[in-house]
Amino acid sequence: MRNLKSNTSSKQLVLPHIFACLCFVVGISNVFAADAFGGDERSAMRLPANDPRVAVSIAGEDRAYVLGQMRLFLANIQRVTAALGNNDLALASKVAAIAGAKNNEIDPSRPAALRAQQPDAWNQYIGKVRKGFDDLASTAATAPVSNSLSKLAGVTENCVACHQTFRIID
């Protein structure tokens, strides 16, 4: 009985300490996160109640096409990073080129009027992403993996910037 009681009281002392340590670690890592990502990114993690992004109207098949391309972008980034992780430079280069401007200049599945409907800034972001993939494709073929990762970070910077600027509505 006595033992049990003293156990309980030591637990009562230990738990608040663990909790305090956790709070400290979480607090510190938030500080580092703010350093690494900058103030903007940190506030983007806590979205305001109303959505400040510019609404772009893309409906029906156009919308399906655009979102389909987005999912291909994401899948492509997954494959490029996997290939770079395996030091398979030829594969990383080949996969990056698939999403590049050169490979997508002529896309018969793209709805004809789509490009003209989008704001200029939208088309510029897409152009930077596509050209970035071409650039990554040539870097990845021969350069050290760290160079390719820097290029990939440059590509995804435009994904992030566009996602922070626009949203799609019907």
List of residues contacting ligand HEC (CB under 6 A): 67, 70-71, 73-74, 77, 122, 125-126, 129, 155-156, 158-159, 162-163, 166-168
The least distance separating ligand HEC from the CB of residue 163, rounded to whole angstroms, comes to 5
C-beta of 5 vs 71, nearer to ligand HEC: 71
Give the residue with the Cβ less far from ligand HEC, 6 or 78: 78
Report DSSP state, residue 41: H
Report how far residue 47's alpha carbon sits from residue 18's, in angstroms, rounded to the nearest whole number: 30
| Identity of the residue, 20 or 153, whose beta carbon is nearer to ligand HEC in the bound complex | 153
Contact criterion met (CB below 8 Å) for 151 and 132: yes
Output the smallest distance, CB 155 to ligand HEC, in A.
Answer: 6
* Nearer to ligand HEC (CB atom), residue 31 or residue 64: 64
Q: How far is the CB of 97 from ligand HEC (least distance, A)?
A: 14
> Smallest gap, in angstroms, from Cβ of residue 67 to ligand HEC?
4
Among 92, 97, 166, residue whose Cα is nearest residue 125: 166
Range 125-164 burial, b when 16+ CB lie within 10 A, else e: bbebbbebbbbbbebbeeeebeebbebbeebeebbeebee
